[in-house]
Amino acid sequence: MSQPFGYDEAMLAGILLDARRCNKRDGITGALVCRNDIYLQLLEGPSAEVNAAYARVERDDRHVGMTQLVAVPVAERMFGSWEMLHDPAKSWIWSEAEIADGVLERATQQEVRGVFENLAGRVNA
């Protein structure tokens, strides 16, 4: 998770373009849940490639305060058909007030995974 720095549609389009290009090249899939107050991203794929992608994202200056919430091996990808699914998080995740109050810092790994499981259920249905 991180907070956008200078968030607007053009910046988001650039982030998605970069992520999709790099992820396709590296065999990574995932999802980016975002709005003006939060980026919540899931990366899936071979461990070395995911770690390299994480490091690349960490260096990106289009966001601040990056924190890894969950890092676990999985048997099956949730977003195997998506180099990077974009979900604008209009109303189905925590409110802006909850995010500002630090809900993600207190969230369990299962609650964070639940966000992505919910999204995967909606897009893969």
Write the DSSP symbol of residue 2. B
Helix 9-26 vs helix 47-59: crossing angle, to nearest 10: 150
**What confidence score (pLDDT) does residue 89 get?**
67
Candidates 84, 91, 93, 86; CA nearest to 113 is 93
3-state secondary structure of 42: strand
Tokens representing 86 are: 């974009």
**What confidence score (pLDDT) does residue 18 get?**
95
Q: Tens of pLDDT along 18-67?
A: 999 999 999 999 999 988 888 999 999 999 999 999 999 999 999 999 99
Q: Would you kindly state where each structural domain of the chain is located, as residue ranges? A: 3-120
Q: Tens of pLDDT along 69-124?
A: 999 998 999 999 999 999 886 656 888 899 899 998 899 999 999 999 999 988 87
This prediction has a pTM of 0.89
* CATH code for residues 3-120: 3.30.70.100
Tell me the C-alpha to C-alpha distance, in Å, between residue 103 and each of 76, 87, 95, 117: 28, 19, 9, 18
CA–CA gap between residue 64 and residue 107 (Å, rounded)? 19
